[in-house]
Amino acid sequence: MKKAIPVLIAVLFVVACSTQKAARSTKHANNVQIENDSTEYAMETFDGKFDSWYEMQKSKATDRSQEYYEQWNQKYVAAWNAKAASGQYGSFFEPISGYEPNIDYGFELNHRLFYYFQYVENVLKIKIMDGSPHVLLH
């Protein structure tokens, strides 16, 4: 059953949806200000059970900072990609592409990605890395 979920092919990031910039000239012809610079990022999973599980886990009372989630996500992505590169786990671990440590993906995406890794480790019982955080799950 677990191998049937190459659905976890993962956490594919679609780093594009839209980038919009509106520029406005000021009195000085060479001075242009960026008024709106919005880039949207999305996380895509192929496991329908994750979405309902994630909704049950969300709680403002247990939220941590965006930096907390970013730090753990960087470790998880590195461990996930190492497992994918080793090939010993079959097609379950497909490489995660698009998660760059120097990009601000925002709180919501980092929170969701972190909980996806928690879902894989705690619900699907597939170890991603040693030393992972202990999170209270419902």
- pLDDT, one tens digit per residue, over 59-74 is 887 789 999 999 999 9
pTM for this model (two decimals): 0.69
Integer Cα distance of 18 and 61 in angstroms: 32
- Domain ranges in the chain are 2-123
pLDDT at 33: 30
Q: Indicate the SS3 state at residue 3.
A: helix
**Cβ-based burial of 11 (10 A; exposed 0-12, middle 13-18, buried ≥19):** buried
Angle, in degrees to the nearest 10, between helices 106-118 and 66-86: 50
- Taking all residues of the chain, what is their mean pLDDT, rounded to a whole number? 73
Task: State pLDDT tens for residues 84-99.
Answer: 999 887 778 888 888 8
Q: Indicate the SS3 state at residue 61.
A: helix
